[in-house]
Amino acid sequence: MSATAKSAFTWLETRRAGLYVVPADLYIDPVLPVARAAITHGHADHARSGHGHVYATPQTLAIMACRYGEAHAATTTAMEYGDTIALPGGVELHFAAAGHILGSAQISIAYRQHRVTVSGDYKRRADPTCAPFQPQQCDVFITEATFALPIFKHPPIEQELRRLLQSMHDFPGSCHLLGAYALGKCQRIMMTLRQLGYTETIYLHGAQVKLVELYESLGIPLGVWRKVSDVTDKQELAGKLVLAPPSALADRWSRKLPEVLTCMASGWMQIRARAKQRRAELPLIISDHADWNELLETLQEINAPQVWVTHGREEALVHQAKAFGYKAQALSLLGYDEEAS
């Protein structure tokens, strides 16, 4: 942090485990086990097991329990959107929707007349599986920057999924194998396809099943689906849609599927080299993060005097934030993954 930031915000530190709120002995999305943690959302690079006490939304706590077991933390506090809780040292903690995945939250920390909001990962597009982003008034906005370059402009998800449906129509004998991250993107794709009128059974790799079942138990209807492992004759999957983790696209598992047409859903599919790396015959630009224009619009909407940038292309967004007249700087935090984007 710069000297200017330190003068007013000495109570915030970047440590090896993550962003540390000194008076409350609290970390935000720590990458190591700590005594007290506030978690923005359930993706594994932000939500880890082994903490003493965890503050998170009920949905994020359910996701953590699904992934790590009920004993993922010694104790927990469920924070609904809009909740504020007093912590030791005169700190107040507030949760608001981030629009990234089910249960994702922005976390605001208030201390001595100053308010800092940590965006976590967020997007500004409508998503039927989670609550929309809610802008927060603050003195410092700590924003992610996964797609903080002008080249990143995400098309509507409906447009990309119509391309998928058209390909399925054009190649009726092919099994369309779609790589999609198991938490958030998989369920968003399933529900959006239903909204577009696709009523066929969607087939799932085993790694997708637990979280799909969890979403449904939390009130997110995803239509008819079936595990690929329950299909004895894999030739039945010709002309069908199979969702799998990106890591499974080139796995031995996929070789059992008939006439596979490989698809990949990610914001990185805008980069040809990334699409080629994934061997995606049908790259779909579908992201659960804000694109460049949305990042800039969010900065201007929130209008915080200071902007701290992390998790991605920090330099470009810092430069643009300064051009808008904000005090801006990069906040280097280690241990976060871009591949779920």
How does pLDDT run across 192-246, given as a tens digit for each residue?
999 999 999 999 999 999 999 999 999 999 999 999 999 999 999 999 999 999 9
Coil vs helix vs strand at 252: helix
Phi, psi values for residue 37, rounded to 5° = -135, 140
* Tokens, residue 271: 């980069």
CB 129 within 8 A of CB 218: no
pTM: 0.94
Q: What is the DSSP letter of 33?
A: -
* Cα distances (Å, whole numbers) of residue 136 to 144, 186, 328: 15, 28, 18
Q: Which residues contact 323 (CB under 8 A, 6 or more apart)?
A: none
The sign of the dihedral angle between the CA atoms of 245, 194, 338, 96 is negative
pLDDT of residue 311: 79
Phi, psi values for residue 171, rounded to 5° = -125, 70
Coil vs helix vs strand at 152: coil
Q: Which residues of the chain have pLDDT under 70?
A: 1-7, 333-341
Nearest to 103 by CA among 85, 84, 78: 78
CB 266 within 8 A of CB 152: no
Residues present in the chain in total: 341
Coil vs helix vs strand at 260: strand
Residue with tokens 């391309």: 163
Query: Span 157-284: which CATH code?
Result: 3.40.50
Decide if domain 3-151+289-330 falls under CATH 3.10.129.10: no
pLDDT of residue 7: 59
CB 45 within 8 A of CB 24: no
pLDDT of residue 63: 98
pLDDT of residue 274: 87
pLDDT of residue 73: 97
Residue with tokens 């976390």: 107
pLDDT of residue 174: 97
Burial class (CB within 10 angstroms; exposed 0-12, middle 13-18, buried 19+) of 286: buried
Domains of the chain by residue range: 3-151+289-330, 157-284
pLDDT of residue 250: 84
Quote the percentage of the chain above a pLDDT of 70: 95
Phi, psi values for residue 310, rounded to 5° = -150, 170
* Tokens, residue 36: 């007290």
